[in-house]
Structure 1
């Protein structure tokens, strides 16, 4: 049975330019998304007993890319964006640690496969908040999502 995989497409953000001093928010979000997807893939490999060196390498590559994106953000992102990225970093780091304990056969109470899967699939509200902070920082947040105001 093959490993579950989600196609991320090209989300490097290389085509767009962020305002001066804000870095590449699309690339940042893509790095976090890739790490979350690889964590989910790896969790499934652990659950099925199919962990192989390539699966671990894929996870570690994504993990290092996310940490690089976070390091850049610490220097360039606004405080509201950084707060959301920090919260997501903590969530994903905890999920990584719990997944490794599960792989080792030493999960703590509340860290079963099902609970870990629910954690990784249940970060949608947190993800929306992170994306919203980035969009607001770029001036395309909820206030500017609607039709343009009509003058008198």
Structure 2
């Protein structure tokens, strides 16, 4: 009886193993496929996130270039207009050029408010306020109603000071884009 029982147990184990092998192989294969699918999903998600970061960086870069140019143009137009006021040579074309630069500045600032980092936005805001003050002071001088102690030279020095603030603003923009600020 001993060998018959052993043979019977061996047969049951063999048949059970034969029957379970495909089920276990399928489960193992499904588990491997699920793991591979998850790895592919993670890789696709990581790739999408990289592409999003690159697109955001490109959009910020484009915005910063346009904003930088608009701020610079506005300041230059203010300087030119101040000279025309000083020489009493203000023309309609000069007024239009200043207003065009001013409106371009406002549009660039509005766009930057949507994409700029907090550090860049703080710099943009400071320089925008300074440009606005330079505009106000220049227009008051033109109208013959300057602020106390304001003159052509004082306003010109103020607009030169804005140039230094612009350099700081540009450095913060470059740092936000990951560009080295060394000379």
TM-score band w.r.t. shorter chain: 0.7 to 0.9
Q: What displacement does 1:121 show?
A: 1.4
Please state if 1:105 is matched with 2:144. Answer: yes
Q: What displacement does 1:123 show?
A: 2.4
Aligned to 1:83: 122
RMSD: 1.7
Aligned residues: 128
Unaligned runs of 5+ in 1: 1-16, 147-152
Contact residue 132 and residue 141 of structure 1 kept, 8 A:
no
Structure with higher Rg: it is 2
Task: Report which of the two has the higher share of helix.
Answer: 2
Please state if 1:44 is matched with 2:83. Answer: yes
Matches within 5 A, 1:102-141: 102-141=141-180
CA offsets 1:9-51 (integer angstroms, 9 cap, x no match): xxxxxxxx87155252111100000000000000000000000
Stretches of 4+ moved more than 6 A in 1? none
Aligned to 2:14: none
Q: Choose which of 54, 57, 65 in structure 1 pairs with 2:93.
A: 54
CA offsets 1:124-145 (integer angstroms, 9 cap, x no match): 3311210011001100133xx4
Aligned to 2:57: 19
Rounded to whole Å, the distance in 2 between the matches of 1:74 and 1:114 is 33
Unaligned runs of 5+ in 2: 1-54
Contact residue 81 and residue 130 of structure 1 kept, 8 A:
yes
